[in-house]
Amino acid sequence: MASDPKDPLVLFMPSGKRGRFPVGTSLLDAARQLGVHVESVCGGRATCGRCQVAVQEGSFAKFGITSSSDHVSAPGGKEDRYDRLRGLPAGRRLACSAAILGDLVVDVPQDTTVNAQVVRKAASDRVIARDPAVRLCYVEVDPPDMHQPLGDLDRLKAVLVRDWGIHDPAVPLRLLPQVQTILRRENWGVTVAVHHDADGTRPEILALWPGLHNQAYGIACDIGSTTIALHLMSLLSGRVLASAGAPNPQIRFGEDLMSRVSYVMMNPEGREAMTRAVREAVNGLIAKVCAEGDVAADDILDAVFVANPIMHHLFLGIDPTELGQAPFALAVSGAVQTTMAELGLSGNAGARAYLLPCIAGHVGADAAAATLAEDPHRQDRMMLLVDIGTNAEIVLGNAARTVAASSPTGPAFEGAEISCGQRAAPGAIERVRIDPDTLEPRFRIIGSELWSDAPGFAAEANRLGVTGLCGSAIIEVVAEMYLSGIVTGDGVISGAQAARSPRIIPNGRTFSYLLHDGQPRIAVTQNDLRAVQLAKAALYAGIRLLMEKQGVAAVDTIRLAGAFGSFIDPKYAMVLGLIPDCDLAEVRAVGNAAGTGAMMALLNRGHRREIEQVVQRIEKIETALEPHFQQLFVDAMGLPHKVDAFPHLAREVALPPRGDPGGGAPGDSPRRRRENRVTRRRDQA
Amino acid sequence: MASDPKDPLVLFMPSGKRGRFPVGTSLLDAARQLGVHVESVCGGRATCGRCQVAVQEGSFAKFGITSSSDHVSAPGGKEDRYDRLRGLPAGRRLACSAAILGDLVVDVPQDTTVNAQVVRKAASDRVIARDPAVRLCYVEVDPPDMHQPLGDLDRLKAVLVRDWGIHDPAVPLRLLPQVQTILRRENWGVTVAVHHDADGTRPEILALWPGLHNQAYGIACDIGSTTIALHLMSLLSGRVLASAGAPNPQIRFGEDLMSRVSYVMMNPEGREAMTRAVREAVNGLIAKVCAEGDVAADDILDAVFVANPIMHHLFLGIDPTELGQAPFALAVSGAVQTTMAELGLSGNAGARAYLLPCIAGHVGADAAAATLAEDPHRQDRMMLLVDIGTNAEIVLGNAARTVAASSPTGPAFEGAEISCGQRAAPGAIERVRIDPDTLEPRFRIIGSELWSDAPGFAAEANRLGVTGLCGSAIIEVVAEMYLSGIVTGDGVISGAQAARSPRIIPNGRTFSYLLHDGQPRIAVTQNDLRAVQLAKAALYAGIRLLMEKQGVAAVDTIRLAGAFGSFIDPKYAMVLGLIPDCDLAEVRAVGNAAGTGAMMALLNRGHRREIEQVVQRIEKIETALEPHFQQLFVDAMGLPHKVDAFPHLAREVALPPRGDPGGGAPGDSPRRRRENRVTRRRDQA
C-alpha cells in the first residue's frame, strides 16, 4: 500500500499493525487495509455497533506516536443516533464513523480469553484474533429494474461484490424460495450469512434475514471418550456465552475405545447406535448452552469438533473397525467440512461444521487441536505436549520439526484396573502424603479442603464418604510409597517394611498398603502397582521414543493436557516417571487444550489452515513399528527409571539412594548419561 | 507447447486440432495436450475401452500429412487383451495404447448427433463435442502405510491429483462411511465420479465404486408448460439412449402460465402442489427412460433442466407470484447448480443438477437453451430465433449484438380461444388448402397421409375421426382464406363471398367458413380470425421491435423452435405475417431447440459457461416498457401487414392485390418502404 509519509500514522492494538492513512479515512477502512479484523455487520452504516474501538490517549514513544482523542473526528449524527438507541460504552467509538485526523493508537477490544473457562491459571488465558469462517454482511439490494432484469438473488450477489468483495457465492437450493420475501420485507435491506473459509473454496450463502440481523454464534466441541465438552461462542464478539459438559453416552456400549470398536464389530447396528447416541448428546448440550446463553439455535452458524480418531469416526458415522487393527487406517485424516444439518445437529439450517484433521490412526483431531492451542510448531524450545487418557497422545517438537505418537497407557490412570480406583467424584481421594518415618498416610478427598489428619475431617468424611482413589491420587500414592521406601525401585511392595507399619499387610504372596481402613477399605495392592507401572512405562517409552527421534536427551517445557493432566502434581508425575525430567516451573497443566484449539478454529479460519498444514508436517511415529519401543518400555518399568536422568527432580525431591534393592531397571551408563547432558546443553545453546 | 519440427504431426478430426509429438507419445496423451476430448475412465490401463479412435489412411495434402496405420504402434498386449475380452470394432484403436510413430490423421468418433431424435431434417443434426461436467476416473490407491498414516480418502485424493490432475475435491459426508469398504473390495482399485464444472468452483466427488465402473449417464430435460421432454444420454459416449415425454401435470392447476400463477396466489398449498406434481412427472420420465435404455437410475450422475421462468421457479420450489406482475422480478436469473436429490429426483445420491440461466422475467432458461443450440451469438448474419408458445420468446442477433424479448401471443396458436381448436392429436386437421376458384377446402388429419379429397380418406376419417384444428392448421386455414379472398386484408370474413360458396355461412352479424361438415362441424368464425390476428400481431410486433433495436429492416435467417414451429409451413406463417419476410430457404424449423441446448449443456461444460456469458450480454427488451410497441401491434393486425415488405414471399405466393378492401392496416409509405429495402441491401453488403 503506497502511503504518504505526511499522512497520520495509526497503530492498532493488540495486533501492533500500523500504517499511514490520509486524513478522513475511517478507522474501519484503515483496519481493513492493514488486515486488522474489526467486525462489522452493517458495512459501515453505524447501525450494528460491532465495530467498536477505543482511542488511546498519550505518547507511545516506542512507535513515535502521540495519540489523542483530538486526532479523531468528533462523534457525528449516525454515531450519536446509535448511542441514543443502543448505548455506546464510555470511551468507545464506532470505527466505521470515526475518521482519522492525526496520529492514533487504537485498541480493538478482544473479549475472547478462551482458557478462562477451562483452566483457572491466568497464565494460560489466551487471546484469539477473530476472523471467523462465517460472517454477517448487511446489504441494501437495488430494487428490480425491467431494463436490467437480473434476478433478485443475482442483484444481491452483485451488491455483495461491491460492498463486501465477496464474489459469486454458492447459494443452496433451500434458500431460493425465500429470497424474494426476505428482500421485500425490510425494503431490500438484508443480512447475509456467508461462509468463506479462505481455503480456496467458493464462498457460500448460509442464511438470509430481512433487515439488520446482529447475532451469529458458533459452537466448539470436544468429543472425548468419557466426556463431551461444548462451548457456545459469539462469532461477532468472540465471547464464550455458555459452556456445558456431559458424559459420552457411548459409555454404555463400552467403557474404553477398544471395547466400543468391538461392539461395532459384534453388532450390526452398533455403529449406527453409537453415532446416534453421541449426536443426541451433542444436541442436548447445544440446547443447554442455548438456554443458558439465551441464544436461538437458529443463530448458530458454525461448529467445530475435535475428537480422538475413534470418536471422530463414530461421530461422522464411519465404522471404526479399521482403527482397531493394524495398519490402523483412518477413513479420512484431513479436515472434514460439512454442515450441522448433515450431522443431524441443531442449528441454523445452513450452519457449517468443521472437524480438525487427525494426525494418525491413534493421534486424533483432539491432539491436533491441542497442538494448535499450545503451538509447539511455533516454539524455539523443545516442547513436550502430552494428553493422557486410555491412549496417551504425545507431541514433541519445535518450529524446526514436530513428531507425534500415541502410546497405549491403558485405563489405569483413569482409575480402571486399580482395585480401589474410581473416577474423580466427591469422596474420591485426590491427594496423598506418606510420612517417611512412620509410614502413616494423610490424604484429601474431592469436596473437602481438609487433610485427613486435620480436626473436622471425620465430619467431612462422614458427609462425603471416602470412596476410592482417583487418577491423581493413584499417581501420588505410588510416588509417596516409593519415596518412603514402601515400594522398591522395581515396583515391589516391600514385605521387609511390614515390621515398621501395620499398614503393610500380606495379601497372598504379595503385600498391600492400607491407605484408609474405612468402608470400603482403601488399599494399594501389588497388582495395582503393576498396572501403574505398565501404564507409566508405556507413556514414558512413547515420550522417550520421540525424544530419540528428535535427538534430544531432555525437553525444555512440558504441557499436560486433559482433565488428568490438570489434576496431577507434576512433581509426582516426574517421581513416578510419567514424564521426563524438566524444570518444574516449565511443566504446566493446560486443561482441555483440545477444546481451546476447537475454539481457536471456530473464531479464526486462519487457525484452520494453520493446523491443516502443521498436521501434514508432523512426523507420525507408530510405536508398534519401532522394534526399539519394547526395550524402552522395559527400561521404563522401574521407579523412577534412570534416576540420574532427573537432575531437576533430584533438586526438588529426596529420591531414594541409587542402587536400592531391585531398582535395577537398566539405566544408562555414566558415560552415556554425561553425553546426554552434553547433548542437552548443545540444544539449549 | 514447445515441439520439435522433426516430430510427427498429428491431426485430430473432427476438431481439426493438431500438433507435433515425440515418437512414442500415446494418442491419448497427444489428444489431452491439444485439448481434444477423448474419453477415458481407466486412465490409460486399456480396460475401459472408452478412448477408441480410428487412424485414417491416405494423404491429406491440405495439412501436409500422409497418414498411415504404419505410423502408429501395432496393437500390443493390453489392447489385444481388451479386444479378446470386450471386442474392438475393426479399424478402432485404444488411444491410450497406440503410440505415435509418424504423421497421423486420427478420427475421434462423435456418436452424438442429438437433433436426430428431435427433428428429422438431417440439416439440423448436430455434433456436440463431449466434455461433461461429470467424469469417471479409475484410480489405484496406495494401501495404507503406518509410516505415512494418511487416511484412505486422503490417499485417494493424492492419486486423483497424480493421475487425473484433480486437486482437492470436496467430499460429501455421505460418502465418508463408504470409503474404506469400497477401497478394499477390489484391492484398492476404485472408480470415482468427479463433478468439475470448470467454473472456478472446487471439484467434488459424487460417487465411488469398487473397481472399474464404466457407466455414467445424464438427463437433459425441457419442462414446458404443456409438455415435459426428457432424454437419457451417456456421458461417456454422448449417445441418446432413450427419450420420453409427458404432459405437464400442472395443467390440472391451470391451462396456461398465468392461470398457474393465479392458482398459487389463491391457494396456500398451491405452489407446493405444483412443485411436487412437476417433480413427480420428471421422476416418472426418468423411470421410463431408464427402463427403455436398460440403465440403473443409480448411474445417472448429472441432469440439465430448461424451462420458461414460471416453470423454472415452480420446479425449484419458488413462488412465481412476482413473475405475474410488473416488474416481473425473477427470484434468480443466473444458472442454478444443485443436486438431483435436493430436487427430489431419482438418480445417484450424488447426482448433480444444472439449470440454465433465465434471460429475463418472460424469457426463460428455455430461450437461453435455444439460443445456445442455434447460436445467433456466433453468427455473422442476423438470425431471428422464435419459440412460439403462450408467450413467444424472441431472440434476434448476431456475433456483434443480441437482443431478446417475449411477446404475449396468448394461447391461440395452441388451439385455445379458437372455436374448433385442439391440441395436435390423431384426428386433428393439420394441413389445409382452399381452391381460390371454388373456395372448396381439402385437408389432412394427423394419423393419415391422405388428403381429404383422395380416395380412401373417408375410411381414414371414420377410423380417426375429424376432431378439430391443431395449431399448424389454424395458420394454414387463415392464410388460405386470405389468399383465396374469403378474408379481407383487415381480417373480416367477407359476406360478399357468401354468394360464391355455401361454405361461407352467416353467423349472427358476421360470417363463418365451414371447413368440414361432419360431427363435429369444423368452421372458422370471425372470432377465431380475431384471435389469430391478435396472436400474430403480438408476435410480429415483438419481432419488429427487436428489428428496430438492431436497426435492421430484414433478417437474414429465421429459426422456428418448439413443437408449433416444427409443424407450421414457413410460407403460411409468412403469409399470415407471423414472421418477417425472408428467403424461404433460410427459414428452418429446429424442433425442440431448448431440449437440444439442454443436451449440449449436459455433454459439454464449456457450453454452460458459454450460455452464462451470452445471457449476460443479451439485451433484454421489455415490450411493456416500450411505448412504441402498441403502435407496432396495431400496425401488425392486417393480413399480411405491409405487403410490400415481403419481397421474398411475393415471389413464392400470389398475394392478393394491394389496396384490397379493408387491407388498410396502416402500411409504410412507399418512400419508407424503399428506404427499408436500401437498408437491407446495406446490411447484406
List the single best residue of B167, B176, B178, B190 to mutate versus A (max A Cβ within 10 A).
B176
- CATH number, domain at B263? 3.30.420.480
Chain B residues with CB inside 8 Å of A179's CB? 318, 331-332
Chain B residues with CB inside 8 Å of A335's CB? none
Chain A residues with CB inside 8 Å of B629's CB? none
Contact flag B343-A173 (C-beta cutoff 8 Å): yes
Contact flag A177-B328 (C-beta cutoff 8 Å): no
Interface residue B177 vs chain A (CB under 8 A) = yes
- Looking at the fold, whether B654 and B509 belong to one and the same domain comes out as no
- The model's pTM is 0.85
In this prediction, residues A112-135 reach a mean pLDDT of 56
Q: Indicate the average pLDDT of chain B.
A: 88
Interface residue B174 vs chain A (CB under 8 A) = yes
Here the cell at position A513 is 498398603
- Looking at the fold, whether A229 and A314 belong to one and the same domain comes out as yes
- Looking at the fold, whether B222 and B297 belong to one and the same domain comes out as yes
Binning pLDDT at 50, 70 and 90, where does residue B657 land? Answer: low
- For residues A308 and A2, give the distance between their C-alpha atoms in angstroms, rounded to a whole number: 48
Yes or no: say if B282 and B314 are a contact pair by the CB < 8 Å rule: no
Task: Describe the strand order of the beta sheet including A557-561 as a list of residue ranges.
Answer: A587-591, A557-561, A383-388, A392-397, A402-407, A619-620
Yes or no: say if B226 and B414 are a contact pair by the CB < 8 Å rule: yes
Q: Indicate the average pLDDT of chain A.
A: 88
Interface residue B167 vs chain A (CB under 8 A) = no
Asked if pLDDT for residue B652 goes beyond 90, the answer is: no
User: Concatenated DSSP letters for A116-129?
Assistant: GGT---GGG--BPP
Question: Which among A66, A136, A62 is positioned nearest to A102, based on CA atoms?
Answer: A66
Asked if pLDDT for residue A119 goes beyond 60, the answer is: no
pLDDT above 70 covers what percent of chain B?
A: 92
In a domain, A632, yes or no: no
Question: Which among A355, A349, A354 is positioned nearest to A193, based on CA atoms?
Answer: A349
Q: What is the dihedral of CA A286, A288, A291, A293, to 10 degrees?
A: -70
Burial class (CB in 10 A: 0-12, 13-18, 19+), B58: exposed
In a domain, B123, yes or no: no
Binning pLDDT at 50, 70 and 90, where does residue B123 land? Answer: very low
List the single best residue of A148, A171, A332, A619 to mutate versus B (max B Cβ within 10 A).
A332
Yes or no: say if B564 and B581 are a contact pair by the CB < 8 Å rule: no
List the single best residue of B330, B337, B355, B615 to mutate versus A (max A Cβ within 10 A).
B330
- Looking at the fold, whether A288 and A185 belong to one and the same domain comes out as no
Q: What is the pLDDT of residues A359-402, one digit of tens each?
A: 999 899 999 999 999 999 999 999 999 998 778 899 999 999 99
Q: Cα dist. B415→A17, B157, B253, B423, B593 in Å?
A: 73, 57, 19, 6, 22
In a domain, B360, yes or no: no
pLDDT at A645: 65
pLDDT at B111: 56
In a domain, A66, yes or no: yes
- CATH number, domain at A192? 3.10.20.880
Contact flag B332-A172 (C-beta cutoff 8 Å): no
- For residues A9 and A12, give the distance between their C-alpha atoms in angstroms, rounded to a whole number: 10
CA B512, distance to chain mean position in Å, is 38
- Looking at the fold, whether A228 and A193 belong to one and the same domain comes out as no
The residue out of B524, B553, B584 marking a domain boundary is B524
pLDDT at B125: 52
- For residues B473 and B465, give the distance between their C-alpha atoms in angstroms, rounded to a whole number: 16
In a domain, B231, yes or no: yes
Interface residue B249 vs chain A (CB under 8 A) = no
Q: Which domain holds residue A490?
A: 420-524
The residue out of A91, A107, A123 marking a domain boundary is A107
pLDDT at B102: 94
Maximum Cα interatomic distance, chain A, rounded to a whole number of Å: 103
- Looking at the fold, whether B388 and B537 belong to one and the same domain comes out as yes
List the beta bridge partners of residue A521: A517
Q: Is the dihedral of CA A37, A41, A42, A45 positive or negative?
A: negative
- Looking at the fold, whether B428 and B407 belong to one and the same domain comes out as no
Q: What is the pLDDT of residues B141-181, one digit of tens each?
A: 999 988 888 999 999 999 999 999 999 999 999 999 999 99
- Looking at the fold, whether B548 and B634 belong to one and the same domain comes out as yes
- Looking at the fold, whether B234 and B201 belong to one and the same domain comes out as no
Q: What is the pLDDT of residues B389-408, one digit of tens each?
A: 778 899 999 999 999 999 88
Asked if pLDDT for residue B260 goes beyond 50, the answer is: yes
In this prediction, residues A598-604 reach a mean pLDDT of 95
Interface residue A90 vs chain B (CB under 8 A) = no
Asked if pLDDT for residue B682 goes beyond 50, the answer is: no
Q: Cα dist. A458→A427, A448, A477, A519, A601 in Å?
A: 12, 11, 21, 13, 48
3-state secondary structure of B433: strand
Asked if pLDDT for residue A337 goes beyond 90, the answer is: yes
In a domain, B127, yes or no: no
pLDDT at B642: 57
In a domain, A340, yes or no: yes
- Looking at the fold, whether B222 and B205 belong to one and the same domain comes out as no
**H-helix segments, A380-470:** 457-464
CB atoms within 10 A of CB B518: 11
Closest to A176 (Cβ–Cβ): which among B149, B176, B318?
A: B318
B 275-334 residues inside an 8 A Cβ radius of A = 316-319, 322, 326-334
- Looking at the fold, whether B351 and B306 belong to one and the same domain comes out as yes
pLDDT at B345: 98
Interface residue A378 vs chain B (CB under 8 A) = no
Contact flag A172-B358 (C-beta cutoff 8 Å): no
In this prediction, residues A120-149 reach a mean pLDDT of 78
Q: Which long-range contacts (CB under 8 A, 24 or more apart) does A61-68 make?
A: A63/A9, A63/A11, A63/A18, A63/A105, A64/A9, A65/A9, A65/A11, A65/A103, A65/A104, A65/A105, A66/A103, A67/A11, A67/A103, A67/A104, A67/A105, A67/A106, A68/A102
Contact flag A151-B329 (C-beta cutoff 8 Å): yes
In this prediction, residues B660-677 reach a mean pLDDT of 36
Q: Which residues contact A637 (CB under 8 A, 6 or more apart)?
A: A490, A491, A533, A534, A537, A665
Binning pLDDT at 50, 70 and 90, where does residue A537 land? Answer: very high
Q: What is the pLDDT of residues A475-506, one digit of tens each?
A: 999 999 999 999 988 899 988 888 889 999 99
Backbone angles phi, psi at B445, to 5 degrees: -110, 155
Binning pLDDT at 50, 70 and 90, where does residue A643 land? Answer: low
Q: Which residues contact B169 (CB under 8 A, 6 or more apart)?
A: B157, B160, B194, B196, B202, B203, B204, B205
Asked if pLDDT for residue A120 goes beyond 70, the answer is: no
Yes or no: say if A510 and A419 are a contact pair by the CB < 8 Å rule: no
In a domain, B168, yes or no: yes
Q: How far is A31 from chain B (nearest CA, A)?
A: 30
Q: Which residues contact A55 (CB under 8 A, 6 or more apart)?
A: A67, A68, A69, A71, A72, A91, A93, A98, A104, A105, A106, A107
Asked if pLDDT for residue B677 goes beyond 70, the answer is: no
Question: Which among A294, A155, A141, A162 is positioned nearest to A210, based on CA atoms?
Answer: A141
Interface residue A675 vs chain B (CB under 8 A) = no
Contact flag B151-A336 (C-beta cutoff 8 Å): no
B 344-363 residues inside an 8 A Cβ radius of A = 358-361
- For residues A214 and A211, give the distance between their C-alpha atoms in angstroms, rounded to a whole number: 10
CA atoms within 13 A on the CB side of A620: 25
Contact flag A152-B330 (C-beta cutoff 8 Å): yes
Asked if pLDDT for residue A143 goes beyond 50, the answer is: yes
Number of domains in chain B: 5
pLDDT at A434: 95
More confident residue, B129 or A194: A194
pLDDT above 90 covers what percent of chain B?
A: 63
- CATH number, domain at B43? 3.10.20.30
Q: Which residues contact A122 (CB under 8 A, 6 or more apart)?
A: none
The residue out of A210, A225, A241 marking a domain boundary is A210
Asked if pLDDT for residue A168 goes beyond 60, the answer is: yes
Residue of A nearest to B327 (CA): A146
Interface residue A160 vs chain B (CB under 8 A) = no
- For residues A280 and A268, give the distance between their C-alpha atoms in angstroms, rounded to a whole number: 20
Residue position matching grid coordinates 456465552: A241
pLDDT at A566: 78
pLDDT at B252: 87
Closest to B333 (Cβ–Cβ): which among A151, A331, A332?
A: A151
- Looking at the fold, whether B558 and B657 belong to one and the same domain comes out as yes
- For residues B131 and B128, give the distance between their C-alpha atoms in angstroms, rounded to a whole number: 9
Yes or no: say if A152 and B332 are a contact pair by the CB < 8 Å rule: yes
